[in-house]
Amino acid sequence: MRDPRYAASIAIVPLLPLVMLAVGLTSGAGGGLLLVVAPLVAWLLGFGISNDVGYDSTAFALHVATGVPGRADRWGRVLPVLVAGLPLTVAFALVGCAVADRWDALPAMLGISCGTLATSLGISSAVSARLVYPVPKPGESPFKSPQGATVATMVAQLVTMAIVLALSIPALALGLFAILAPAPALGWATLGVGTAVGAVVLVVGVRWGARLLDRRRPELLQQVMAFR
What are the structural domain ranges in the chain?
4-226
Residue percentage of the chain with pLDDT more than 70 = 91
Sequence-distant (≥ 6) Cβ neighbours of residue 173 within 8 angstroms: none
Rounded mean pLDDT, 191-216: 95
DSSP codes of every residue in 188-202: HHHHHHHHHHHHHHH
- pLDDT at 7 > cutoff 80: no
Q: Kindly report the length of the chain.
A: 228
- Looking at every residue in the chain, the average pLDDT score rounds to 86
| Closest to 86 (Cα-Cα) out of 62, 110, 58 | 110
Cα 19–Cα 112–Cα 70 angle in degrees, nearest 5: 100
pLDDT at 134: 82
- CB neighbours of 35 closer than 8 A, spacing ≥ 6? 96, 97, 100, 102, 105, 109, 179
Does the bond joining 182 to the residue before it have cis omega, within 30 degrees of 0? yes
What torsion, rounded to 10 degrees, do the Cα atoms 155, 153, 202, 108 define? -80
* Predicted confidence (pLDDT) per residue in 56-112, tens digit: 888 899 989 998 999 999 999 999 999 999 999 999 999 888 888 888 889 999 999
pLDDT band (50, 70, 90) for residue 194: very high
